[in-house]
Structure 1
């Protein structure tokens, strides 16, 4: 098996899109005071696999190698991050190109998916493949014990402290991993809630951390797509700071994913597994 080559992002990727002293603003008051503020960064990331263009995403320009790994796995484009051999990032003004080299097996599967989509656009059933992507067949997780309640204590405050980009500029989501000791081990931030979880999954897989000994946290709305990504990554537990949707709870229960909502002022609410009838 070819070895995985992990290259750091080019030094000028962030410099190309981030003003060093922030952005000027004027207050809408009679005094019209002015100042400067840091704002969340955003770039277009074009991803190509073995030279074949696949997607263009708007992302925050940090931890992009983690994002590409997590996105590839979460979207079902690769079965394992070991299918990814190399990632090259090249800045182009306000955009970044990611050239990804994948295994022959992964590339063949990717081309088959594209061929199926292209072959059915005029058949009157063009939404079938889109529905298959929105409601895919997912593996069943083995199931895991719920995390101790103490690991969720004061978690919101600890998350705020871990979000470096949010403290500086706001306007970003975060996905975090809390380890078996209840400590925040990783934090990934992005303008996109899906992107933040992709970055976290990519970091977890690249660092070969044991997912069974901890849980993931998302600061955003917990939608069905985040359940897909968590199950595909093999995360045993997902904690959300925002309430889940009904369909999200249903899918979490069906796939043995522990799903917990952490309200602002109430005790954590376990939606999956389903509570036992009294």
Structure 2
């Protein structure tokens, strides 16, 4: 019998949130209300033999599979036979994975003493504590929503503004639309977090107020981009891809206006809640 069959794995933790649909109101004269199911995400902290290794944002499904695969693909262990036990527990919006590995693998891990580098996929792989993954952020002052006409043909205008992507593709963009509805700045990067960081830096260097307009991201809207938008003091974040449920909750809690711009329907306002 292979050693993998002997791994003690806890029962999958219950869902972090019920699969409730999230309400939105369309940003157009009709102001139709609706609801949509949104993807879940959570912060997952992994510890080996009691020593914290890193925190990353993941979908809270097949978590045990992820931890085992991560341990193998990151060379924490050489084979599944080095994993003796795996326990996953829940604490609010966070999951904790306690992994017991062989002395051989743990000694090698301590020798490496490496901190995982962030990637364009999760953005939080180098975070060493859940307090950093789920930080305390100041609540923004309330701000009015942008005019609906400022979002008209926005996808087409964004495509025209992405000069680098036209030549190479594979680039995310973060754009600033001013109070007149004009795209004033566009920053591109292979990493969606990097693109937003570039935009925040450009606005600060130019002495422009992030609240006199709104930011648009071409990537999916996950929690770490909400963090950056709040810290960047934006009033409104517009995403071309649907936000995660955790992103909606944090945007509402911190008074960040959050709008999803679907391909073929009116913009959907998820925050503030209606």
TM class by shorter chain equals 0.5 to 0.7
Which structure 1 residue ranges, 5 or more long, are not aligned? 1-117, 119-126
Shift of 1:143: 1.3
Shift of 1:130: 1.5
Partner Cα separation in structure 1 for residue 212 and residue 192 of structure 2: 23
Partner Cα separation in structure 1 for residue 186 and residue 127 of structure 2: 36
Partner Cα separation in structure 2 for residue 246 and residue 221 of structure 1: 12
The equivalent of 1:264 in structure 2 is 263
Q: Which runs of 4+ in 1 moved over 3 A?
A: none
Q: Deviations over 1:222-258 (max 9, x none)?
A: 0100000000110010000000000000000000000
1:182 pairs with 2:181:
yes
Q: Structure 2 matches for 1:216-227, cutoff 5 A?
A: 216-227=215-226
Partner Cα separation in structure 2 for residue 129 and residue 186 of structure 1: 33
Q: Structure 2 matches for 1:96-175, cutoff 5 A?
A: 130-175=129-174
SS in 2 for 1:196: helix
TM-score normalised to structure 2 length? 0.53
Shift of 1:272: 0.2
Partner Cα separation in structure 2 for residue 128 and residue 220 of structure 1: 21
SS in 2 for 1:211: coil
Shift of 1:211: 1.7
Which structure 2 residue ranges, 5 or more long, are not aligned? 1-112, 114-125
SS in 1 for 2:180: coil
1:274 pairs with 2:260:
no
Partner Cα separation in structure 2 for residue 259 and residue 128 of structure 1: 25
Q: CA RMSD in A?
A: 1.6
Q: Which one has a larger percent helix, Structure 1 or Structure 2? A: 1
Partner Cα separation in structure 1 for residue 127 and residue 153 of structure 2: 44
On the 8 A contact 2:127/2:133 being kept in 1, the answer is no
Aligned residues: 150
Q: Deviations over 1:55-94 (max 9, x none)?
A: xxxxxxxxxxxxxxxxxxxxxxxxxxxxxxxxxxxxxxxx
